[in-house]
């Protein structure tokens, strides 16, 4: 079954776009992907795309549903066109076998992108674990009151505002996210690290008995000191 172009989001775009989407093999995880037509354009191989990609698939035995997936994309005229989305490791191999400077350059770009992606996945996993702990601390430490259900939102907005300059609602509007989408997935590694750091500070201050106003004042001053020159 062909996939739709809206199933992918761009992770990298400095040379050619690298996308993230569900595993081509059908697994629940996400992986890095490359559009073969965009790779073909960068490599400047001197052959038309259709002939080139069919030759690569046949010559190296790439399998639909394992190494690549056909994707329907919108066309300005006529019927939707079919593109080929490859796993990053396969795209890296295709670049390598071209055996030219362009191929070697894009292969190095793919290798560095893989490293950054793995690092980002680790930070996201750590961030999710820290967020669960943060939620548990709020539930345990805050006194029961009609306003307790809003505490998570208040503290989350406080951290987001310090780290990004926007609260959760503003970030959702900025990135076009629904209520079910994760705002944290849009934060870059540095923002995630800062988010984790401030949540830990809030946890400690809550356990020491500080209220929201005291905590807001404390971490706001901490943020100013962190970004001040010298």
- Secondary structure (DSSP) of 35-53: EHHHHHHHHT-SS-HHHHH
Structure tokens at 190: 């540095």
Which has more pLDDT, 190 or 227? 190
Which has more pLDDT, 9 or 116? 116
Tell me the CA distances in angstroms from 78 to 36, 48, 69, 222, 227, one per residue in order: 21, 20, 22, 58, 53
* The pLDDT of residue 112: 92
Burial class (CB in 10 A: 0-12, 13-18, 19+), 17: middle
For the segment 70-87, the average pLDDT, to the nearest whole number, is: 80
d(CA 207, CA 137) in angstroms, rounded, equals 8
Angle between helices 36-43 and 88-97 (to 10 degrees): 30
Instruction: Give the strands of the sheet with 81-87, arranged side by side.
Output: 3-4, 68-73, 81-87, 30-35, 18-22, 9-12
Instruction: With a cut of 90, say whether residue 80 has pLDDT above it.
Output: no
Instruction: With a cut of 70, say whether residue 48 has pLDDT above it.
Output: yes
pLDDT band at 1 (very low <50, low <70, confident <90, very high): very low
Which has more pLDDT, 89 or 6? 89
Structure tokens at 143: 């006194």
* The pLDDT of residue 228: 44
The partner residues of 10 in beta bridges, in order of sequence, read 19
* The pLDDT of residue 229: 44
* The pLDDT of residue 162: 92
Tell me the CA distances in angstroms from 146 to 143, 155, 202, 207, one per residue in order: 10, 16, 21, 20
Instruction: With a cut of 90, say whether residue 108 has pLDDT above it.
Output: yes
Q: How many residues are given for the chain?
A: 230
- Contact by Cβ (8 Å): 88, 110: yes
pLDDT band at 60 (very low <50, low <70, confident <90, very high): very high
Residue 29 backbone phi and psi in degrees, to 5 = -75, 170
């Amino acid at each position: 079954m062909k996939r739709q172009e809206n199933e992918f989001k761009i992770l990298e775009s400095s040379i050619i776009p690298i996308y993230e989407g569900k595993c081509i093999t059908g697994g629940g995880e996400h992986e890095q992907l490359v559009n073969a037509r965009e790779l073909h354009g960068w490599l400047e191989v001197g052959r038309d795309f259709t002939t080139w990609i069919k030759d690569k698939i046949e010559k190296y035995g790439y399998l639909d549903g394992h190494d690549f997936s056909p994707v329907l994309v919108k066309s300005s005229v006529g019927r939707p066109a079919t593109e080929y989305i490859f796993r990053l490791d396969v795209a890296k191999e295709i670049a390598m076998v071209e055996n030219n400077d362009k191929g070697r350059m894009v292969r190095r770009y793919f290798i560095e992108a893989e490293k950054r992606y793995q690092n980002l996945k680790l930070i996201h996993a750590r961030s999710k674990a820290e967020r669960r702990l943060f939620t548990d601390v709020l539930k345990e430490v805050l006194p029961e009151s009609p306003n307790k259900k809003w505490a998570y939102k208040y503290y989350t907005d406080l951290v987001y505002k310090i780290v990004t300059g926007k609260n959760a609602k503003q970030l959702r509007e900025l990135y076009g996210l629904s209520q079910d989408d994760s705002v944290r997935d849009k934060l870059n590694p540095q923002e995630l690290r800062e988010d984790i750091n401030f949540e830990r500070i809030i946890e400690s201050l809550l356990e020491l008995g500080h209220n929201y106003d005291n905590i807001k004042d404390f971490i706001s001053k901490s943020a100013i000191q962190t970004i001040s020159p010298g």
